[in-house]
Amino acid sequence: MTDQQTRSEAPELVLVEHPARRRGPDGASVEPPEPLPGVALVTLNRPRALNALSFALLLRLAETVEELDADPACRAIVITGAGTRAFAAGADVAELAEQTAESLAASPGFRGWDRVAAVATPTIAAVRGFALGGGAELALACDMVVAGDEATFGQPEINLGVIPGAGGTQRLARAIGKARAMELVLTGRRVSAAEAERLGFVTRVVPAAETLGAALDLASAVAAQPVEAVRAAVAAVRAAFETPLAEGVRIERDLFGSLFGTPDQVEGMRAFAERREPRWRAPGAVARPTDGAS
């Protein structure tokens, strides 16, 4: 992928910056530009509709993260929304209003969230403004969430006569517990970034203008770690969401074992013995320990 690459079919729906550039405290790229090796930035780009997730946008998003996931030079993905008002205000309600049970069942739309959640590369949502409905579900589908202090999360679907349909009832319940998830889903109440952090589905809250920069810095820190161990850790922690405890512990043990004999395991333990910093392998084609593990 090239810097600021877009696709010809729908050039404005999703933007890609790979490698991403470091941002300053105002959210602007630092000068001179400083590429962050291994970090990709994916921007939902329908700011006038508060980045509402139309079927076309979801498809493009899923394709984009999967392409990045297949690129060995990409070691962490940040997903954000264009503009300052919203990460994403949900699925596109105008489009949803025209659906039937049958058309939805046949639609690949739901798979957009699943496909983002399934990539082996760690993902970070950088949330400013509204993350509602499918937007909150997209943040929940990411591995970590960095939120601006004015961000607002919520599952307002009940106010539309429906329920969360992109994993919200499941991922939210697992992230914050049944009683709290039930209240948010049944009332549609919005929560602030501070409350979301207290509830446990936001990794970190930062001043709004610093959101993207903080998410990119976090991604950069992850991208600098040994890649096979990162992917194993991602798969193991995700397994905690997907499996009973005993099965998750078994998956963790298998992944732990799979790292022994890898160059970075040998280097990491040798560096410890020699009291020096480890020198991890540069990004490149490596086996993916997540295969079949999550």
> Would you please indicate which residues are annotated as catalytic (active-site) residues?
91, 134, 137, 157
Binding region for ligand CO8 (CB under 6 A) out of 18-26, 62-70, 126-134, 230-238 = 126-134
Q: Which is nearer to ligand CO8, 70 or 163 (CB)?
A: 163
**Nearer of residues 49 and 118 to ligand CO8, judged by Cβ:** 49
Among 91, 209, 239, 293, binds ligand CO8 (CB under 6 A): 91
- Contact range with ligand CO8 by CB under 6 A, out of 24-32, 129-137, 194-202, 232-240: 129-137
Considering the complex, what minimum distance in angstroms separates the CB of residue 188 from ligand CO8?
A: 8
Residues 82/133, Cβ–Cβ less than 8 Å: no
Structure-token match 């910093």, residue found: 277
C-alpha to C-alpha distance for 139 and 172, rounded to whole angstroms: 10
Q: At 76, is the secondary structure helix, strand, or coil?
A: strand
Sequence-ordered list of residues with C-beta below 8 angstroms from that of 107, at least 6 positions apart, any chain:
55, 99
> Read out DSSP for 79-146?
EEESSSSEEE-SB-HHHHTT--HHHHHH-STTHHHHHHHH-SS-EEEEE-SEEETHHHHHHHHSSEEE
* Interface with ligand CO8: number of residues (CB under 6 A): 22
Check: CB of residue 52 under 8 Å from CB of residue 92: yes
Q: Is 106 among the residues that bind ligand CO8 (CB under 6 A)?
A: no
- What is each CA distance from 11 to 8, 16, 29, 213, in whole angstroms? 5, 10, 22, 24
Please, which residue, 73 or 160, has the CB nearer to ligand CO8?
Answer: 160
Q: Which of 14, 36, 39, 50 binds ligand CO8 (CB under 6 A)?
A: 50
CA dihedral for 111, 117, 118, 121, sign (positive or negative): positive
Q: How far is the CB of 232 from ligand CO8 (least distance, A)?
A: 31
Q: Mask: binding to ligand CO8, 254-273, rule CB under 6 A, as x and -?
A: --------------------
**Of 76 and 91, which CB lies nearer to ligand CO8 in the complex structure?**
91
The reply on whether position 94 binds ligand CO8 by CB under 6 A is yes
- The answer to the question of residue 81 lying near ligand CO8 (CB under 6 A) is no
Q: Which residues contact 103 (CB under 8 A, 6 or more apart)?
A: none
Show the site string, 131-170: x = touches ligand CO8 by CB under 6 A, - = not: -xxx---------------------xx--x----xx----
**DSSP labels, 248-289:** HHHHHHHHHHHTTTSHHHHHHHHHHHTTS---PPPS-----T
Contact status: 17 vs ligand CO8 (CB under 6 A) = no
Question: Is 40 or 116 the residue whose CB approaches ligand CO8 more closely?
Answer: 116
Residue 271 CB neighbour total at 10 angstroms: 14
Residues in contact with ligand CO8 by CB under 6 A are 49-50, 52, 89-94, 96, 107, 109-110, 130, 132-134, 156-157, 160, 165-166
